[in-house]
Copies of this chain bind each other. A is one copy, B any other.
Amino acid sequence: MNGVTIGQAAAFVGVTVKTVRHYHKLGLVREPERDSSGYRRYGSADLLRLVQARTLAAAGVPLAEIGPLLDADAALFTAALADVERHLTQQIEELTARRDTLHRLADGDRALLPDRAVALLERMAGLGFAADETAATREGWVLARALVPEGFDDYLTHFEHALDDPGLVALGRRAAEAAAWEPDDPRIAELAATAAGHYLANPALLKTVTGLQARTEAGTRYMLIAHHGGERTPAAARLAELFEAELRAAGIRIPRP
């Protein structure tokens, strides 16, 4: 009749009855003697073992390792404790990092793109590009980074230079407007020619087009990035098509859909 019941033992160490029985089944904690009615009776040594096991389990040690650990000699045990502690510290850091990521997720989709890219998008918005245009650009970048992560930084650098060119910025804004035109508007061909001329006159600029391409074996990937939005207007599609045709005519290698 000496010893506490499983419910009291469980309450003492702060777990459920089922958990204690689970530990017995796994051999992690020895089963105590039973009383005349078959109830388990826990003595102080059993409680000690339970507390030790529970503390390790709560710290994330796999249950299968806890038994051997508690049976090991003191030197081995303290070494393992230090190990567990390092693990915990690392976990804390990870959680903290996640919390910060969530923070960023709350004020925009910064989580998807590096800060540098986000800054560029903000600069675009400041330069007069419409919100849906920068949004489309952002989506494209997300894809680009997924496909060619190793070339993305270079691409951003080229893009930064491009934003330094006021003529190009004006062209970009006009292209954004063009999306709303009729597909057969003659101004589209005109705009495509002007843009192609500007690009061809400025070889560094061409790298925003060819830079990523060089990294991908197959041109299909470029197509994906350039044409990522199937929801583009017909006018925008035609503008892109004409623009690419002009570049191709000038000897720039651009894959076809």
Contact = CB atoms under 8 A, between A and B. Distances in A.
A201 interface: no
10 contacts: A2-B223, A2-B224, A12-B145, A12-B146, A43-B228, A48-B109, A56-B105, A58-B101, A84-B102, A88-B95
On chain A, which size bracket covers the interface?
35 or more
User: How many copies of the polypeptide does the oligomer hold?
Assistant: 2
Interface string A64-94: 0000000000100110011011001101100
Interface in A28-79: 42-45, 47-48, 51-52, 55-56, 58-59, 74, 77-78
A227 interface: yes
A106 interface: yes
A139 B42 CA distance: 12
Interface stretch (A3-11, A19-27, A126-134, A243-251): A3-11
Interface of A: 1-4, 8-9, 11-12, 42-45, 47-48, 51-52, 55-56, 58-59, 74, 77-78, 81-82, 84-85, 88-89, 91-92, 95-96, 98-99, 101-103, 105-106, 108-109, 111-112, 138-140, 142-143, 145-147, 149, 220, 223-224, 227-230
Given A2-B230, A98-B58, A142 B112 contact: no
A139 B4 contact: no
Contacts of A101: 55, 58-59
Contacts of A12: 145-146, 149
